[in-house]
Amino acid sequence: MQYPEPIAKLIASYMKLPGIGEKTATRLAFYTLGMDEDDVKDFASALTAVKSDLHYCSICGNITEDDPCPICQDKSRDQSKIIVVEHSRDVMAMERMNEYHGLYHVLHGTISPSAGTGPMDINVPSLLERLKKHDEVKEVIIATNASVDGETTAQYLAKLIKPAGIKVTRLAHGLSAGADIDYTDEVTLFKAVEGRTEM
Ligand SMILES: [Zn+2]
């Protein structure tokens, strides 16, 4: 027996999410069918709004409703430091820590020779451009994850940035190997930033 088309389509959509197989997708689709109509409408509009209302900040690459993003617009923030992270959710993690008041740059990935991702495929050119334009930046703190690709990316960036006379530091790894920044608690993250070492 085949499912009616609307259900089949919803199952197929759920299966596009990471970690969702056919069984879970089917369960979610039938759950959705049983949901309150208003809740389903809110869900659907939240899904579309995340694409239509959000953009990437033209300066730092973070997701934002306004361009430049509120962090880049905030002149009271320390303009001499930039923390470089892999993902927007890492910015949220750093901000939750409430101890860092500098700027950010979001790479949207890592350099990964195994996946064939090079520096031009992620947000590296805009970082270099930004450093060239803003000589008030004195330190770039590389906060890519403690994975092989995260390390490769950190080494690559350090090699490019250091000759410009900018200090390049890396988070201290009280973070366990392979740990993701966004899953790290505030205290550990704060210690990692405080204990950062020059590359
Ligand atoms: Zn920004």
What is the mean pLDDT of the segment spanning 58-71?
95
Q: Is 58 helix (H, G, I), strand (E, B) or coil?
A: coil
Q: Where are the extended beta strands (E) located within 8-159?
A: 55-56, 63-64, 81-85, 103-106, 139-142
CATH of domain 56-198: 3.40.1360.10
pTM of the model: 0.79
Q: How far is the CA of 37 from the centre of ligand 1 (A)?
A: 37
Q: How far is the CA of 172 from the centre of ligand 1 (A)?
A: 25
Q: How far is CA 193 from CA 19, 46, 82, 102, in A?
A: 31, 34, 12, 12
Q: How far is the CA of 97 from the centre of ligand 1 (A)?
A: 18
- Taking the C-alpha atoms of residue 10 and residue 17, their distance in angstroms, rounded to an integer, is 12
Q: How far is the CA of 152 from the centre of ligand 1 (A)?
A: 24
Q: How far is the CA of 71 from the centre of ligand 1 (A)?
A: 6
Q: Which fold has domain 5-52?
A: Helicase, Ruva Protein; domain 3 (1.10.8)
pLDDT in tens, 128-182: 999 999 889 999 999 998 888 999 999 999 999 999 999 999 987 655 555 677 7
Domain regions of the chain by residue span: 5-52, 56-198
Q: How far is the CA of 17 from the centre of ligand 1 (A)?
A: 27
pLDDT at 77: 97
Q: How far is the CA of 129 from the centre of ligand 1 (A)?
A: 14
Q: How far is the CA of 153 from the centre of ligand 1 (A)?
A: 21
- Taking the C-alpha atoms of residue 178 and residue 64, their distance in angstroms, rounded to an integer, is 28
